[in-house]
Amino acid sequence: MVLAFLYPCLAFAQSDSSTVSKTSAGAGGALVTYLICNSQKRRPIGGWLLYFYIQLYGGALISLVILSGVRKNFDPTIWEDKALFTLYLISTIPSYIAMLAEVLVGSMLLAKRFKNPQTVNSLRIVLAASFVFGLLGLLIDSAHWPKNVAMDLLPAAMSLLWFFYFTKSTRVRLVFKEGNWDSNIMYPPKLV
């Protein structure tokens, strides 16, 4: 259910069910994700930062599933038009590489529980590159494979949002840049 919320366009495109049940799955996933992230908001990796990691690893799993389903498209012998094959590679491979880099750098931030501003900056660079690659894929797909546009739009938009989040977030600054892993970092208990 959470994955249906994270990438609703995938769930919607792959589903044969009615629009009402597709919307229900997305809403249910949104609710579950909200409850999980909200319940952890007092922890260093909680709230929106936890949502980033859920989206990061969930999106990587979904991409692996998609990649396994379309791996035949990477065989040049099935393409009559080699220029289209080249455009297909340009519209897909950089995004997969950026996602792998995002998972690796994001995981490095979790693995190193100390001040890590350089790795945060590296993640921001990867997110910016992911956005640019998403736009490139969007341009190519809109001209040649319009059905794939939704699959380009959501990851590109999410990369841009996360870029700004990792630029402005107080939680990111406190946890990753200042190394404050105190469990009540964001929401200290109220004194009554």
pLDDT digits (tens, 9 = 90+) for 13-23: 444 445 555 55
For 50-109, the pLDDT digits (tens) are: 999 999 999 999 999 999 999 999 999 999 999 999 999 999 999 999 999 999 999 999
What residues does each domain of the chain span?
Answer: 1-39, 56-177
Cα–Cα dist 151/99, whole Å? 14
- Single pTM value for the model: 0.80
Looking at residue 34, what is its pLDDT? 82
What value, to the nearest 5°, has the Cα angle with vertex 101 and ends 100 and 103?
A: 65
Least confident window among 25-29, 147-151, 163-167: 25-29
Cα dihedral angle (130, 13, 49, 135), rounded to 10 degrees? 20
CA 150 to chain centre: 14
> Which amino acid appears at position 168 of this protein?
K
